[in-house]
Amino acid sequence: MPRIAYFGPQGTFTEQAARALADPREHELLPLDTIPAVVAAVRSGEVAAGCVPVENSVEGAVPATMDALALGEPVVAVAEHVLPVHFSVLVRPGTEAAQIQTVASHPHGLAQVRGWLEANLPKATAIAVNSTAGAARAVHAGEYDAAVSAPVAVEHYPLHELATGVADVADAVTRFLLVTRPGALPAPTGADRTSLVAVAVNRTGALSGLLHELALREINLTRLEARPTKDRFGEYRFFLDVEGHLAEQRIADALAALHRRCLEVRFLGSYPRTDGTQTQVAAPTRDEDFAAATDWVAAVRRGERA
């Protein structure tokens, strides 16, 4: 049975996303403790796919995922899942709110309940740990007093819910990716997203030129993030998500232009959007517009048209 690794341990939000993306009759799920470990297991072929968080609507990008996707042997996203995120505060049975001195969670988890912690547990020290479920596991082991965890964590660790439905922003969501080794792309659906990472040449206007290639082809950006290249201070990798699929000519044409223009371009996948938003493509960037233009140039070159 093909295995899907996910950022665990059991009881993370990522496990819920992996369950939504996997077919229970076809896939076995494998929890791994870090995001790099999930991506490494995909690269080595130990698992068929891996599920990792990529961005949260409140706290933004998940840097460990961006670095794991941008560096090392290529992996590509074949699906995404967007999950509403609210938390439960878990304690060992018998713990009273007044006794809580330490509260552990993933840094993104802590950032999403900062206001709640200030209002309800003002004396507690927030401790960043590997994952929200790792926090629950550590509370069970007696390392910390409380964990800010996914609601499902209580099914895996014998803890008590001190509070449920905790979230400073009520409709917060996290987006997850299912990544595999490069292979056949998922079929275009008309509601797709393409992810890529590019290192622009370090000169005036280079980023604007890169974005211009997209604008010229009427490609809508859904996300733009920068991470240091880690080689030289002041040099960045740009992570771009755009509406559309590499199978569409305007996306292929734009990627070819970026490949000519940039020091480095890496394709991170074309995959259906969870929200099903259809990409609006109008003349002059529809596939038929590109095909007609290519035919015309070919005919001019043959001396048949002018």
Ligand X SMILES: O=C(O)C(=O)C[C@]1(C(=O)O)C=C[C@@H](O)C=C1
- CB of 59: closest distance to ligand X in angstroms? 7
Residues 6 or more apart whose CB falls under 8 angstroms from that of 122 comprise none
SS3 202: coil
Q: Does 53 bind ligand X (CB under 6 A)?
A: yes
Q: Toward ligand X, which CB reaches closer, 53 or 272?
A: 53
Q: Among the candidate windows 5-13, 184-192, 261-269, 291-299, which touches ligand X by CB under 6 A?
A: 5-13
**What does the DSSP assignment read for 132-163?**
HHHHHHHHHTTSSSEEEE-GGGGGTS--EEEE
Among 9, 14, 66, 268, interactor with ligand X by CB under 6 A: 14
Rounded to whole angstroms, the Cα distance separating 124 from 213 reads 50
Q: Which residues in 164-223 contact ligand X (CB under 6 A)? A: 174
DSSP code for 235: -
Q: Does 109 bind ligand X (CB under 6 A)?
A: yes
Q: Does 132 bind ligand X (CB under 6 A)?
A: yes
SS3 278: coil
- CB of 52: closest distance to ligand X in angstroms? 8
Q: Does 13 bind ligand X (CB under 6 A)?
A: yes
Among 4, 48, 49, 56, interactor with ligand X by CB under 6 A: 56
- CB of 54: closest distance to ligand X in angstroms? 8
Q: Does 150 bind ligand X (CB under 6 A)?
A: yes
- CB of 126: closest distance to ligand X in angstroms? 14
Q: Are 252 and 185 in contact (CB under 8 A)?
A: no
Residue 41, H or E segment: helix 35-44
Residue 236, H or E segment: strand 236-243
Q: Toward ligand X, which CB reaches closer, 69 or 85?
A: 85
What does DSSP say about strands 49-56 and 28-32: parallel, antiparallel, or unpaired?
A: unpaired
CA distances from residue 235 to 168, 200, 203, 227, 266 in whole angstroms, order as listed? 34, 9, 11, 9, 16
Q: What is the b/e burial string over 194-226, where b = at least 16 CB atoms within 10 angstroms of the residue's CB?
A: bbbbbbbeeeeebbebbbebbeebbbeeeeebe
Q: Which residues in 228-287 contact ligand X (CB under 6 A)? A: none
Q: Among the candidate windows 25-33, 91-99, 129-137, 198-206, which touches ligand X by CB under 6 A?
A: 129-137
- CB of 108: closest distance to ligand X in angstroms? 3
Among 9, 21, 131, 196, interactor with ligand X by CB under 6 A: 131
Q: Which residues in 77-96 contact ligand X (CB under 6 A)? A: 85
Rounded to whole angstroms, the Cα distance separating 285 from 239 reads 23
Q: Among the candidate windows 12-20, 115-123, 245-253, 280-288, which touches ligand X by CB under 6 A?
A: 12-20
Q: Which residues bind ligand X (CB under 6 A)?
A: 7, 12-14, 53, 56, 62, 85, 106, 108-109, 131-133, 150, 174
